[in-house]
Amino acid sequence: MSLLAIVLFAIALQWVGLVAAVAVLVLIGANAARDVRLLDVLALAAGMIVFSVAVFVWLLGLPLPLWPTS
């Protein structure tokens, strides 16, 4: 399940942007454990989105799309 999450992240990053790709990564990756609670996973996804945007886009200045481009 973890490998699937990473592959889907790579695909989603191109099509839907960093925010949705990180959400997909966390939500699919969380299914690797048996005792996950939806509220915990959503909180983790929100935290990872904020962290990823802050580090990779704002601090490092990488040209990653945040949202889907038309």
At 4-61, the pLDDT tens digits run: 999 999 999 999 999 999 999 999 999 989 899 999 999 999 999 999 999 999 999 9
Q: How confident is the model at residue 2 (pLDDT cuts 50, 70, 90)?
A: confident
In this structure, is residue 35 part of a structural domain? yes
User: How many angstroms separate the CA atoms of 38 and 21, rounded?
Assistant: 18
pLDDT at 48: 98
In this structure, is residue 53 part of a structural domain? yes
Residue 69 has pLDDT above 90, yes or no: no
Residue 70 has pLDDT above 70, yes or no: no
In this structure, is residue 7 part of a structural domain? yes
Q: Which range marks the domain in which residue 50 is found?
A: 2-59
- Token representation of residue 19: 């925010």
Nearest by Cα to 5 from 53, 41, 40 = 41
**Number of domains making up the chain:** 1
pLDDT at 19: 97
User: How many angstroms separate the CA atoms of 36 and 15, rounded?
Assistant: 28
In this structure, is residue 68 part of a structural domain? no
Handedness of CA 10, 16, 22, 24 (dihedral sign): negative
Amino acid at 32: A
